[in-house]
């Protein structure tokens, strides 16, 4: 019996879909336009299945990035995958969007996947091969300075927040350029989901939930207003 994994990602401005069959990537699609995920996403999934000659019921594992990243994008991606997995009684696996991004990068350097979280903050992680040195975080872009200064290995940044990091750390000798802009993060989701499925087994759609790492803008503004009124 073949193992078919459908991976998706909506954690940034980019939407991506990937299909893996028996450990081999057979389809990827990336869309980075000004249109919304809600408009692009389902047609992308339908197109992927059609090109590969598959039906939703042929998918054994539905995989989605669960964050961090765009709150709205994550909700769209997760809700879609939960619905499809539930309707087809299939396994459902959620993976870190940052680790999925890093999984797309083959490099001997330490890979730092980063998303722009605004206000000089980034969502990030630090990964060296199969080793997670620093798990998902949301911090000021300067947060990594001590680590980068003390590590002996070269460091590269990837993701839509990488320019913020290169602007911050370009003076450090071990910070190297990275030609990768935004790879197909859904491909990384498939890679990680396959590993988890093989080691930990199947999960259900009930276990899939977002990992935001911080409050939404509306929640932050309400908190700031409440604290200001207390003074």
State pLDDT tens for residues 36-85. 888 889 999 999 999 999 999 999 999 999 999 999 999 999 999 999 99
User: Which DSSP helix (H) or strand (E) runs through 6?
Assistant: strand 4-9
Angle at 121 between CA 142 and CA 184, to 5 degrees: 105
DSSP three-state, residue 9:
strand
pLDDT value of residue 134 = 96
How much of the chain exceeds pLDDT 70, in percent?
94
CATH class held by domain 4-98+183-223? alpha beta
Per the prediction, the chain carries an average pLDDT of: 93
pLDDT value of residue 228 = 67
The residues spanned by each domain of the chain are 4-98+183-223, 105-169
Tokens of 1: 């019996």
Exposed e or buried b for every residue in 123-154, given b needs 16+ CB within 10 A?
bbbbbbeeeeebebbebebeebeeebeebeee
pLDDT above 90 for 225: no
Q: How confident is the model at residue 34 (pLDDT cuts 50, 70, 90)?
A: confident
User: Which DSSP helix (H) or strand (E) runs through 93?
Assistant: strand 91-95
Give the tens place of pLDDT for each residue, 103-136.
999 999 999 999 999 999 999 999 999 999 999 9
pLDDT above 80 for 92: yes
Q: Which CATH number fits domain 105-169: 3.40.50.2300, 2.120.10.30, 3.10.105.10, 3.30.420.200?
A: 3.30.420.200
pLDDT above 70 for 224: no
How much of the chain exceeds pLDDT 90, in percent?
83
Q: How confident is the model at residue 223 (pLDDT cuts 50, 70, 90)?
A: low
Fold agreement (4-98+183-223, 105-169): yes
Q: How confident is the model at residue 1 (pLDDT cuts 50, 70, 90)?
A: confident
pLDDT above 80 for 231: no
């Amino acid at each position: 019996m073949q193992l078919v994994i459908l991976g998706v990602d909506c954690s940034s401005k980019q939407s991506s879909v990937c299909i893996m069959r028996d450990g081999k990537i057979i389809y990827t699609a990336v869309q980075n336009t000004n249109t919304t995920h809600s408009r692009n996403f389902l047609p992308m999934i339908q197109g992927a299945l059609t090109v590969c000659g598959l039906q939703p019921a042929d998918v054994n594992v539905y995989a989605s990035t669960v964050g961090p990243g765009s709150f709205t994008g994550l909700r769209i991606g997760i809700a879609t995958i939960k619905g499809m997995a539930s309707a087809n009684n299939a396994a459902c696996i959620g993976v870190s969007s940052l680790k999925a991004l890093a999984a797309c990068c083959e490099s001997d350097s330490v890979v730092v996947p980063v998303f722009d979280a605004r206000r000089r903050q980034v969502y990030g992680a630090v990964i060296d091969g199969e080793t997670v040195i620093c798990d998902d975080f949301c911090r000021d872009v300067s947060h990594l300075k001590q680590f980068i200064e003390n590590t002996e290995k070269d460091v590269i940044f990837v993701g839509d927040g990488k320019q913020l990091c290169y602007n911050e750390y370009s003076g450090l000798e071990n910070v190297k350029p990275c030609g990768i802009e935004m790879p197909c993060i859904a491909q990384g989701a498939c890679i990680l989901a396959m590993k988890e499925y093989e080691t930990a087994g199947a999960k259900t759609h009930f276990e899939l939930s977002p990992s935001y790492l911080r409050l939404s803008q509306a929640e932050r503004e309400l908190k700031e207003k409440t604290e200001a009124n207390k003074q």
